[in-house]
Chains A and B, each alone.
Chain A
Amino acid sequence: MTRYAGNAEALRALVREQEVHRDVYVSEEVFQLEMEHMFPNSWVYVGHDSQVPNAGDYFGTTIGTQPVLLVRHTDGKVHVLHNRCPHKGTRITSETCGNTGKFFRCPYHAWSFKTDGSLLAIPLKKGYENTGFEQSHAAPGMAPVRHVRNYRGFVFAKINDGGLDFEEFFGESLSSFDNMIDRSPVGQLKVAGGVLRYMHNCNWKMLVENQTDTCHPMVAHESSAGTAVEVWKKAPPGTKKPMAVEIIAPFMSPYEFFENMGIRIWDNGHGHTGVHHSIHSDYSAVPGYFEKMKAAYGEERAKAILDENRHNTVYFPNIMIKGPIQLLRHFKPIAANKTLVESWTFQLVDAPDMLLERTLMYNRLINAPTSIVGHDDLEMYERAQEGLHSNGNEWVNLQRLYSPDEAGQTNVAVNGTSEWPMRHQFRAWTKFMTMGM
């Protein structure tokens, strides 16, 4: 049964000012429409250019559920290609990442392609003579994603021709990327430490919403962060607070802490928590780091960069970054009830190793499938994914601190426990879902 395909009105009706219909989380049809419309109409994160430093380097990932390749072409430019052979559809690359040399070669029939995707050669090509092959879908080679933007190393792509250009889509929200990158004395990041991959039996949007949900940590994480605080209390007086406790304990901060941290709202579903302070504000200084920053930027600018303690910045549709600890979480949709969460970490080039060590500790303590904090969250998502099948109430409430005049506003800072960011994400969801319908 199709309820929503080609029916922009029905899709719009799923999102109300203060609530959303459960079909945005549980309906496979809505999920397929997200993959056909919402993701292709949006600028979606693909990868970081440090993953493909040399010509011929590639990295395989997905935009929505579509397989794509990030690849460094011989001219040094980064391209995004659909990862399928134009012949039979075979995925071209075997490993997730590697170096393909000067060309890709399909392992099935040895069709080969330059690293910008264009067709290089086909064995026994004369078999295609006088067949009209030049007019076929196969002739151009591996189809490129036409709209690609490398923003200071972070590569985004938009599959559809319509929609917004890159600057219009992200607007002022790019300041969070700027702050994360500027924390390197040379203004450069490098993917480092390996990626944590954590499978979630829930809809991808539950994870996105949770990034700006500041009323859950002291409740859902009482079991992990609360226990950590209690166990730490028993340490002998005078014991130096370990890095792990510095990382976990702030999750137990009271409501007031989160109310006062503030939330900023930008256009198109982007926004961040931690306008004034965050759970990352009180980490111990890393020896030698500030001196390097001061030498690179001057004291005033270095302080301004490091005083910015944005908590979670959500980039619609499906990533979150943490500038102060150089971490990016990618919520990859697989099905209405299945999401792969990849948590990536970055090294600040020319900064002390201890910063990466802390980032990696944060990642494994909070984002690993073995993480007790992760267990707390996933339990809530999975219970919601189940609970939403109840017909007793078909709506999810997003009403906290709602104001009727918020729809047109952008770049405003509000109470840190507002659900405005979630309402804003769903306004963007409707916009990019129905765009061109």
Chain B
Amino acid sequence: MSMVAEAPLKNAVPTDQELIDFVVREARLIDEQRFDEWLDMYADDAFYWMPLEWNQTDPRLTCSLMYEDKLLLSIRVERLKGARTFSQKPKSRCHHVLQTPQVDSRDAAANRYVTWTPIHYVETRLDEQALYAAWITHHLCVEDGKLKIKLKRVDLINCDAAFGNIQLFM
């Protein structure tokens, strides 16, 4: 297993490069299926949001593909390990290609940093391979000297298309 250990922030306020490294590391942990470490990147009150509608603003009264808190994400992670998780026999694998993340906003006083990252995401399972294109918006904060995800928003370019199974994380 490769070494992408989490580097502590050098100062109280993260640099742009530290924000970028964090976003890149998140994708890598998913690709390497290090899901427990991946979950640790999320704040306790975090949400992973994959809208169903183009330019969707409301996750509550408009349906989403995913709008999951840490409890639901941890159920997914545990499920992937299960002996009777038949939709993961054989297991899926995934692959992220990221454009360099851009830091859209940084507000140290409010402890809020937002990055924007176009991605291509490939998910495979045995003979099946699917390609997705999306923009990912990370809302990050610093907790106990570490960056954490408050909100990860995944906007698929074809969010309203009819999909087959999407089983891992973009």
Contact = CB atoms under 8 A, between A and B. Distances in A.
B167 interface: yes
Interface in A356-386: 356-357, 360, 363-365, 368-370, 372, 374-376, 378-380
Interface stretch (B12-20, B23-31, B74-82, B138-146): B74-82
Nearest to A219: B84
Nearest to B53: A194
Given A378-B87, A379-B86, A231 B78 contact: yes
Interface in B55-85: 60-67, 69, 71-72, 74-76, 78-79, 82, 84-85
Nearest to B169: A370
Contact of A380 (B60, B86, B166): B86
Contact of B161 (A197, A235, A368, A370): A197
Contacts of B65: 196, 364, 368-370
A228 B74 CA distance: 9
B162 A340 contact: yes
Interface of A is mostly: helix
Contacts of B69: 242, 244
Contacts of B164: 198-201, 369, 378
A364 B63 contact: yes
A199 B72 contact: no
Given A224-B79, A227-B75, A228-B75, A379 B162 contact: no
Nearest to A343: B63
Contacts of B50: 370
Given A193-B61, A199-B163, A372 B66 contact: no
A227 B79 contact: yes
B94 interface: no
Interface string A192-216: 1111111111000000000000000
Nearest to B52: A194
B61 A192 contact: yes
Interface residues of B, number: 33
Nearest to B154: A370
Contacts of B76: 372
A345 interface: yes
A365 B72 CA distance: 9
B75 A231 contact: yes
B136 to A, nearest CB: 15
A321 B77 CA distance: 31
Contacts of B62: 193-194, 360
B11 interface: no
A134 to B, nearest CB: 42
Contacts of B2: none
Nearest to B85: A223
Contacts of B161: 197
A375 B63 CA distance: 18
Nearest to A245: B71
Contacts of A248: 75
A226 B83 CA distance: 12
A195 B65 CA distance: 10
Interface in A135-182: none
Contact of A242 (B52, B71, B85): B71
Interface string B146-166: 000000000000001111111
Given A368-B66, A375-B165, 6 more contacts: A228-B75, A231-B74, A356-B61, A369-B65, A376-B87, A378-B165
Interface of B: 50, 52-53, 60-67, 69, 71-72, 74-76, 78-79, 82, 84-88, 160-167
Interface of A: 192-201, 220, 222-224, 226-228, 230-232, 235, 242, 244-245, 248, 340, 345, 353, 356-357, 360, 363-365, 368-370, 372, 374-376, 378-380
